[in-house]
């Protein structure tokens, strides 16, 4: 009997990011209206009193030192002009090809070999040896924040063990969050 029956497709499963949450900011916080969806486990920092995400760019293909493009996973919010950094080297993105369904091809010459699945970060400025994140990281988001929905309240994690395979932050950004450890 099919009376009032409807099929609803299953939602996409979010990967497990937190192995153990040991501390949160009481009451959470407000993340300023993002231009892209922010996934759970994204580092955020203060900019003029508002919390904003530090973009994370996960490589889906290894980079050779002579490559002029990199391939990153969809959903990073990458834009032309973003400074993409690895360790202490930051380089400006000059073009983004988002026509592929699973990855974005970004025109940027990193000048160093980088392993597949490495997470790069959004830097404050281009530099050959002194790049730093665009905002000083303060917390990891404890839930997803949707684009275009205005400023949103979110759980803010400040003390946790996270999975290095799924956390949406680079090793350099995690190192600045002294009470966040990767496992």
pLDDT: is 155 or 7 the higher one? Answer: 155
**Would the pLDDT of 1 be above 60?**
no
Average pLDDT score over residue span 57-79:
96
Percent of the chain at pLDDT above 90? Answer: 92
> Domain boundaries in the chain?
18-54+135-182, 56-122
pLDDT at 2: 63
What's the predicted TM-score (pTM) here?
0.91
In this structure, of 8-12, 20-24, 81-85, 115-119, the range with the lowest mean pLDDT score is 8-12
Distances (CA, A) of 175 to 100, 110, 150, 169, 172: 32, 21, 30, 10, 5
Domain 18-54+135-182, what fold?
A: Virus Head Decoration Protein; Chain: A, (2.40.300)
Q: How far apart are CA 75 and CA 83, in angstroms?
A: 17
Average pLDDT score over residue span 89-112:
96
pLDDT at 103: 96
pLDDT: is 37 or 2 the higher one? Answer: 37
**Would the pLDDT of 14 be above 90?**
no
Residue (of 159, 181, 171, 182) closest to 23 by Cα position: 159
The count of other CB atoms within 10 Å of the CB of residue 21 is: 16
Residue (of 71, 161, 174) closest to 116 by Cα position: 71
Average pLDDT score over residue span 9-18:
88
Percent of the chain at pLDDT above 70? Answer: 99
pLDDT: is 10 or 140 the higher one? Answer: 140
pLDDT at 79: 96
Confidence of residue 13 (pLDDT cuts 50, 70, 90): confident
């Amino acid at each position: 009997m099919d009376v009032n029956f409807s099929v609803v497709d299953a939602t996409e499963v979010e990967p497990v990011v937190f192995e153990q949450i040991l501390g949160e900011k009481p009451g959470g916080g407000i993340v300023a209206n993002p231009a892209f969806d922010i996934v759970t486990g994204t580092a955020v920092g203060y900019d003029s009193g508002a919390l904003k995400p530090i973009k994370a760019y996960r490589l889906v293909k290894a980079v050779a030192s002579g490559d002029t493009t990199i391939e990153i996973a969809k959903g990073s919010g990458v834009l032309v002009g973003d400074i993409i950094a690895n360790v202490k080297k930051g380089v400006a993105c000059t073009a983004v090809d988002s026509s592929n369904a699973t990855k974005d091809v970004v025109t940027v010459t990193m000048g160093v070999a980088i392993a597949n699945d490495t997470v790069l970060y959004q830097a404050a400025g281009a530099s050959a040896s002194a790049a730093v994140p665009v905002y000083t990281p303060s917390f990891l988001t404890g839930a997803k924040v949707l684009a275009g929905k205005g400023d949103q309240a979110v759980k803010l994690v400040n003390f946790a063990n996270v999975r290095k395979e799924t956390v949406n932050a680079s090793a350099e950004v995690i190192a600045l969050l002294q009470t966040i450890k990767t496992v």
